[in-house]
Structure formats: C-alpha cells, structure tokens
Amino acid sequence: MDNRNVSSLTKVVIYTVMIVFTLLTVYPILWLVLQSFKTSTTYLTTNKLSLPARWYTGNYPFVLVQGKYLTFFWNSVVYSAITVPAVVILSNMAGYAFAKIPSRMTKYLYGVFIVGILLTLQSILIPLFLMVSAARLHDTRLAVIIPYIALGLPMGVYLCTDFIKSIHNELLESARIDGAGFTRIFTRIIFPMSAPVSVTLAIITFTGTWNEFILMSLMISSEKYKALPYAVGRYAGSLGSDYGKLFTSLTVALIPILIFYFIFRNQITKGVAAGAVKG
C-alpha cells in the first residue's frame, strides 16, 4: 500500500486500532507483574486493579529459593531443548519423504500421522501411562520427553509436508543430476528452505512443551523431574490460594517465553509473512 494514497483519517483509524490491540496485549502482563508485589491478604482486601500500596518483594525470594524455582526451570529447559529440535528435524524429514519421495505406502503412512492430530491428550493418557510403566520409564525425564516428541509430530508432519510440496521438483532434480543424494538434498536444500514453517513449528512446540502440565504430572512423581507448570500449580488449590506467590511464579515462568520471543522475533515475522505469501 502506498502511504501517499492513504488519507489522514485512515491513518488515525489504523494507528488507533494498533494502539488498542497493543494495550490489550501488554496490560495483562503488566497487571500480573504488579500483583506479584502484593501479599495474598492485600490482593484479597484491595481493588484488584490498584497499584500496590506497599511494594512487597518477599514473594520473589520465596518462589526462587524455597519454591525450588531453578530446579523446575532447569527441567523445563531440558524438556524444551530436546523436544523442539527433535520435532522440527523429524517433521521435516518425514515431510520431505511424504512430499517428494514417491511410494505406494506414502499416503497410508501420512494418513497415520494425520489421524494423530485428531487424538486428544486426555484420550490416550491411560494407555500411554501403561506403556511408560511397562518400559520402566516412569518418574524419569524420558517418560515425558518421548511422549512430547510423539505428540508434536502429527501437526509437525502435516505442516512440513504441505510446505515442502511447494518446493519445485526441478530444483531437486538439478541437485540429483549434480550427484546429491537424499541426505545432501535434505540438509542443503529442503531444510534451509523450510525455515519459515520450521520456525512456526518451533514456536508451537516450545509453548506447548513449556506450559504442559497434565502429562508431566502423571508421568513424574518426584519433584526433581517436574517442570515450571507444577511449581505454579502448587500455589493454587481448591481450598485456597496464595495469590501473591501464584502471581510471582507466573511472572518468573513468563520471562523465558518473552526472552524466546525477543530473540526470535525477526524469524517469527518472516515465518508469518512467508506463510501469508504462500497462502
């Protein structure tokens, strides 16, 4: 759109809408941070939208030290650092096979992955728990890492297969003529060109793994392997909640996601733009 052809009224409307959406996005985060400086009593007895009359900082040392935040944080980092690359790489490899390697079994194997999108986590929890127990992996990191990867593959394979289909076959044929095999074509052509969908898939997988609670709670019994969602859930219960520590734990759990966004914001923008152009 040429800015010279846009009227001043249109610009005002556009910027107003953008400012409103920005405030709607930023305000809940700001409110969460402000509430973390209140005690539970102060939160319950004062206006929920008011600033802290007395800035209480005791929630942060309690959550970080006594709440074993660093232990839960490290476990979340381990789960995400293994799950995200595994899902992205395996999804691209499978997508390459389904999109560019002809075989009579391709459509059937692809259908098996697509069916996985229709399955909810709750519907497979019991058989999954029995399988993990039978493999003697219960209460280990592998008890959640392997299911995390498996649960991320159906959507990942679907996205990568659809994207890789748009890569011209002539480019791959030229590489084969030059002597490149399947591995070299994947590492030098397919995977680099799939960067937009890989970034999108990495974001989906990272946020899902970082915030996952049900599977982790079922597969792991001891606190030494539990992740941040468990740390947050300890301060909220059916009989009562410590709101000050709850908001503090939510705040510190939100920081890594914000850091992840600021580091990869350019790639996220490029991925969204590429998806829009492709669509």
Q: DSSP string covering 83-101, please?
A: HHHHHHHHHHHHHHHHHHS
d(CA 249, CA 229) in angstroms, rounded, equals 9
Report the percentage of the chain scoring pLDDT > 90: 19
Give me the mean pLDDT over the 157-168 stretch.
Answer: 89
Determine contact, residues 246/232, Cβ cutoff 8 Å.
yes
Q: What is the pTM of this model?
A: 0.80
Closest CA to 175 of 63, 167, 240, 205: 167
Report all structural domains of the chain as residue ranges with CATH numbers, in order of start.
Answer: 67-234 (1.10.3720.10)
For residue 277, the model assigns a pLDDT of: 45
Helix, strand or coil, per DSSP, at residue 277: helix
Q: For residue 32, what are its two tokens?
A: 């969460």
Q: For residue 230, what are its two tokens?
A: 């468990």
For residue 6, the model assigns a pLDDT of: 65
More confident residue, 278 or 44: 44
Q: Of 10-24, 31-45, 224-238, which range is least confident?
A: 224-238
Longest Cα separation, the chain: 75
For residue 93, the model assigns a pLDDT of: 93
> Which residue stretches of the chain are H helix?
8-35, 40-45, 59-61, 69-100, 106-118, 121-134, 142-164, 169-177, 182-185, 191-193, 195-211, 214-219, 228-233, 243-263, 265-278
For residue 196, the model assigns a pLDDT of: 84
Does the pLDDT of residue 136 top 50, yes or no?
A: yes
